[in-house]
Structures are given as C-alpha cells and as structure tokens.
Chains A and B, each alone.
Chain A
Amino acid sequence: MNHPKPLYSSRLVFGFGVIFLFLVLGQWVSRFFHLPISGSVIGMVLLAVTLGCRILPISLVEEASQLLLQHLSLFFVPAGVGLLSYWAMLKNNWIPITLAILLGTIITLLGTAGIHLVLLRTKWNRKSNNVESTQ
C-alpha cells in the first residue's frame, strides 16, 4: 500500500465520518430486512457500490480506509485473547473441535483454491483469462 502524501488531512477526518455513516447504513439495512448478514459487511458492499456509481469520490475515503486496514490484524487481538474465557466450554470436546478446525481449515483453503484453479484453466469466459501469479 502506498502512502497518501498529507497524512493528517481533513479528508482523513471526513473519510472516518463516511465510513461510520456506511456502518450505520449497513446496520439499518440488516435490521430492516432482518438479514443474517452483519451491518459491517453490508456497509462494505454499500460503500463499494456507492464508489462504483461515482456518487462518492474515492479520494474522500481512501486515506481513512488505508489507516484502518493497515493494522487490521491488531484489532483482532482482543478477540483472540478472549479464547481464554472460552476454555471451560472447549474443554469437554476439545479433540474433535481442534480436529475440525485444523483439518477443516486446511481442506477449505485447498478446496476453494483448487476449484478456482480448475475454473481458471477452463476457458469459460474467454476474455478475462489473463494469468497473473503472486511473486
């Protein structure tokens, strides 16, 4: 990710406002239609669609988004530490649960990647078949 030039511009503050606005919008949509999807995920889609429709210029939210996403992992640490309080619950069934998590995650990773690789190799939509590999 490349850094935008002025780090503390008013756009940064504005961007935070917009992001929180979309979070609220997402929560409203989720509640109003009784969707099982959380407000933040709906907010993400709404933000992308609004940017895509050119209702909102990307320059307004880019800095705030970058600032939040650069250290996204940090925000998950308290949730991870929270496992401490769940230990009593996991204790009874920890062997099958650990197996399900470890095996399940590996199988899901390889299954998802596998089918996508197969689909990429079949010429389904011919135009967008440009191959690009991670370094």
Chain B
Amino acid sequence: MDNLILLASTILVYALAQTGQSKLNRKTRLKKISFLFHPVLVSVVVIMLMLVLTHTPYESYAEGTEGLTFLLAPSVVALGVPLYKEWKKLSAELGKILVTVTFGSLVGILSSILPVLLWGSPLEVVASLAPRSVTTPIAMNIAHATGGVPSLTAAVVVTTGIFGAVAGPVVLSILDKIETSTFGLAMGVASHGIGTARALEIGEREGAYSALGLCLNGVFTSILVPVLYRFSIFH
C-alpha cells in the first residue's frame, strides 16, 4: 500500500517538473537556465529529499517503482522503430558513424579512467568507471569482467546519464551550426539511454542517431575496455 504512494508521487513529481520546465521555457528571461530544471534531475532530487525526510528506506521505494523500471527494457527495444524510420539516412552515413562512435567510445573510456588514475584511486574504482558511458546492464557486465564493482558502475552510469542529458545540449551548443546527426550521436555516445531520451524530446531524428550511438557505443566499449584491461593500461 505504502509503496504505491511512492509510485504515484514519482509520476506526479515528474509530471509537475515537466510542466514547470515548459513554463520556464516560455519565460524569455529564464530560458537560459531552464535546462537546469530537467524533469529527471528535478524529480530525482525532490524524491531523494522526500525519502530522506520521511525516513523511507530505498528498498521500499525500489519495490514501489518496479513497474517504471520494468518499462525501461521494452522502451530500449522500442527505439528500433525510430532507428528503422531513419535507416535510409543512417545507412548512407554508416562509415562516418562507425568511425565517430569508435573514437567517441575511446574518448569516453580514457576520459573516465585518466582522472581517477592520476588521483591514485584504487584500481577497482578505475575499472568501475571505465565503462561509464554505456547503458547500465552493459556497463555492469564490463565492470564485472574487468575487476570493477558493478554497483559502483551503476551509480556512475546513472549520474553520467543525468548530467549528459541536462548539460549535453548546452555543451554542444558551443559548437556552431551543429547537425542533427552530430547532436544525436554525441548524446547517445556520452550519456546512453537518458541522453537518448533527451534527444528524443528534441526530435525523432535526433533520437534515432542517439539510439544508434548508444547501441554501437555499447558494442565498442565492451570490446575496448577488456582489451585495454588486458594490455594492463589500468592495472
């Protein structure tokens, strides 16, 4: 019974956050900072506060919102539809997309492990961070295979996704005259599913490129991280 209240409040808080953000978007003065009020970020912070203030254990929350989490996997499958719709355009550029994602995936891995390596963090932390840019289940698999802590990886992956979804469009706006395809690929490669959800909010084509970026990055990262690991780059 109690757990259902947690599900209801999650959906309601999210809906309110979404309405709030679109209201902000209409105010010209606040438009510049409205990206900070992304519904996922707002909902996560508000619900965390709610749980802490009401002394609700996270386990009850996870149980109550199981239904929402359950819908993640079929939603990823559903990305096959925009992928198919944009396939003509995607396949014509497939060579460039493959090179882009290979490079992006390598940049993603190296930029994750260098700060922790230089800081002198334990190697299990380094291995946990290496697959940071891919979707949670893939990242946890890789971390498990290379001596990382899968649950630490899950935490880092989710933070990366939320940060990328919130800051991605702003960071990418630095580059002038950015193409739909470039935007979508960068969002998918840097911040996986949450970034793809953000790209879909902007447009279906952005979403399709992001989905392809997410998918190919998952493949390349699962190859590259174990290879880098074997050549003892981070151990």
B218 to A: closest C-beta gap in Å: 6
Q: Which residues of A contact B187 (CB under 8 A)?
A: 109
**Count of A-B residue pairs with CB < 8 Å:** 340
Q: Decide: A44 and B115 in contact? CB cutoff 8 A.
A: no
Q: Please tell me the number of chain A residues within 8 Å of chain B, measured between CB atoms.
A: 79
Q: Does A10 belong to the interface (CB within 8 Å)?
A: no
Provide the bound-state CA to CA distance between A103 and B107, in Å: 11
Chain B interface size range: 35 or more
B135 touches A73 (CB 8 A): no
Assess whether B51 is in contact with A74, with CB atoms less than 8 Å apart: no
* Interface presence of A33 (CB below 8 A): no
Q: Is B152 a contact partner of A133 (Cβ separation < 8 A)?
A: no
Q: Is the CB of B92 within 8 A of A77?
A: no
Which residues of chain A are near B206, meaning CB under 8 Å?
Answer: 134
Taking beta carbons and an 8 Å cutoff, which residues of B are in contact with A? 10-11, 14, 38-41, 43-44, 47-48, 51-52, 58, 61-62, 65, 68-69, 71-85, 87, 89, 92-93, 95-97, 99-101, 103-104, 107-108, 111-116, 118-119, 121-122, 125, 129, 132-133, 135-138, 141-142, 145, 149, 151-152, 154-156, 158-165, 167-168, 171-172, 174-175, 177-183, 185-187, 189-191, 193-194, 196-198, 200-204, 206-207, 211, 213-215, 218-219, 222
